[in-house]
Structures are given as C-alpha cells and as structure tokens.
C-alpha cells in the first residue's frame, strides 16, 4: 500500500467517517421501533448489522419493508434525523487537524457520500471544512442508493490514476465502492461498522483519525 505522501487524492466518506452520527442513527431507529412496539437495539447490535442496501437492515430489524412501507420508514427516519443532526452531531475528534495535515502533505480531498447532496453541502459548510475539499459528491435520493455508480463517475471526473487515490470510509460498502473504483481503501472503526467486520476485508483498519495519520 502506498504511503499518504504517494496518494495524490483522498476521497472521504462523510457519515460515520468524518461526521460522528452513529449514535444519532441508533437513537432515531429506536424511536421508530418504539412506535411499532418493538424492542430497542444497542449501538453494538447496530454496528454489527447495519449495511447497504438499507432495506435489508430494516428487514433484519423487523420492519415491514414492502415498497410503500420502506418508503414510509425511510421518510420517517430522514425526517427525525434531519431535525437533529446539524445541531447535535459533531465531527470526529481531530477532523480539522487531520484534513489540514494531509493537505499540507500535498494531497487534495473530496467527499463521496450516500447522503443527499444538499445535506452533505450543508454539513460541510456548517462545520467549516469546505476549504479542504475540491468537490462534494452526494446522492439524489433518501435511500442511500447509487454510491458505487456515483463513485465510478467521480473517479472519471478527478483525472487521477486510481492507483494514486485512496478512499477512507467506515463501512463494508465503502470497501465495495473502492473496489469498484479501483482505488485503495483505509477503513475507520469509529463509525457505523465494528472493527471485526471491517478487518474481514483485509484492508487496513484505524480506530481514530489520529491513528489513521500514524498508519500512513
């Protein structure tokens, strides 16, 4: 694996990777489960089972996920999440410093996210980190569809050799996206998936942004 100084461009995931929002997702999901008379889940159960496509995770939790119900639950989740995340969530510790240090080392940055484009842009501005990124690539739907296709399109726009790019994320899906794009990948275990799930990919796993810098 190249060292960070050999990577020309770093693609960051947003939710769970830079934004510390796993706890909020668990709280919102538990609110939806409570409305339906179901037992809440712990953060650990969430991290052990959450994944993409999201509908499979909702099936695991026992939601009725025929198309109409999946849309209803998705809208409920997004509504409750959006009402809180911008004011209650924070960036993971040292995010500002890590982005600055990596930029000083000569790498450019962008964000590839399953979040809606407008929400992604609002969050990046809110936390004062827009200056670090050459581009922000979100989705156009609330179901977290299409990150692989958006990633492939994004790679073509970047004009870097995929071997000069690393994707940094916090889920197995980020690993899948990196594989589809042909880039390297480092996974962070402070987000939506457990360290054990991430380690099973064979890719390097860091437990914090500080550790990420030390690893590369």
Unique residue bearing structure tokens 């849309």: 71
Q: What is the dihedral of CA 146, 52, 136, 204, to 10 degrees?
A: -130
CA-to-CA distance for 29 and 173, rounded, in angstroms? 20
Omega prior to 78 cis, within 30 of 0: no
CA-to-CA distance for 120 and 156, rounded, in angstroms? 21
DSSP lists the bridge partners of residue 111 as 12, 136
Residue of 10, 6, 8, 7 lying closest to 167 (CA atoms): 10
Residue of 197, 198, 169 lying closest to 183 (CA atoms): 169
Provide the pLDDT for residue 66: 78
Provide the pLDDT for residue 187: 98
CA-to-CA distance for 127 and 93, rounded, in angstroms? 12
Provide the pLDDT for residue 17: 98
Residue of 104, 216, 96, 116 lying closest to 168 (CA atoms): 216
The upper half-sphere exposure of residue 45, i.e. CA atoms within 13 Å in the direction of its Cβ, equals 11
**Is 0.85 topped by the overall pTM?**
yes
Which residues are CB-neighbours of 191 under 8 A, at least 6 positions away? 15, 16, 17, 22, 169, 170, 171
Provide the pLDDT for residue 5: 56
Task: Give average pLDDT by consecutive 10-residue segment, the chain, 216 residues.
Answer: 70 98 98 94 98 92 83 93 97 95 91 92 97 92 68 88 95 96 97 98 97 80
Taken in order 210, 214, 215, 216, the sign of the CA dihedral is positive
Structure tokens at 185: 């990948």
Provide the pLDDT for residue 78: 93
Provide the pLDDT for residue 180: 94
């Amino acid at each position: 694996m190249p060292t960070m100084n050999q990577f020309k461009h770093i693609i960051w995931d947003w939710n769970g990777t830079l934004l510390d929002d796993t706890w909020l997702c668990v709280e919102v999901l538990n609110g939806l489960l409570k409305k339906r008379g179901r037992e809440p889940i712990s953060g650990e159960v969430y991290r052990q089972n959450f994944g993409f496509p999201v509908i499979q995770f909702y099936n695991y939790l026992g939601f009725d996920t025929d198309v109409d119900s999946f849309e209803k639950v998705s809208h409920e989740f997004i509504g409750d999440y959006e009402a809180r995340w911008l004011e209650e969530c924070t960036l993971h510790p040292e995010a500002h410093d890590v982005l600055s240090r990596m930029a000083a080392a000569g790498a450019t940055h962008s964000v590839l996210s399953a979040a809606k484009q407008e929400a992604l842009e609002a969050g990046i501005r809110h936390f004062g980190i827009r200056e670090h990124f050459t581009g922000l690539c979100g989705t156009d739907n609330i179901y977290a569809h299409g990150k692989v296709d958006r990633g492939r399109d994004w790679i073509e726009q970047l004009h870097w050799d995929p071997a000069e790019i690393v994707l940094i994320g916090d889920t197995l899906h980020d690993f899948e996206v990196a594989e589809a794009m042909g880039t390297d990948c480092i996974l962070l275990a402070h987000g939506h998936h457990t360290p054990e799930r991430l380690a099973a990919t064979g890719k390097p796993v860091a437990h914090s942004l500080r550790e990420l810098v030390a690893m590369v």
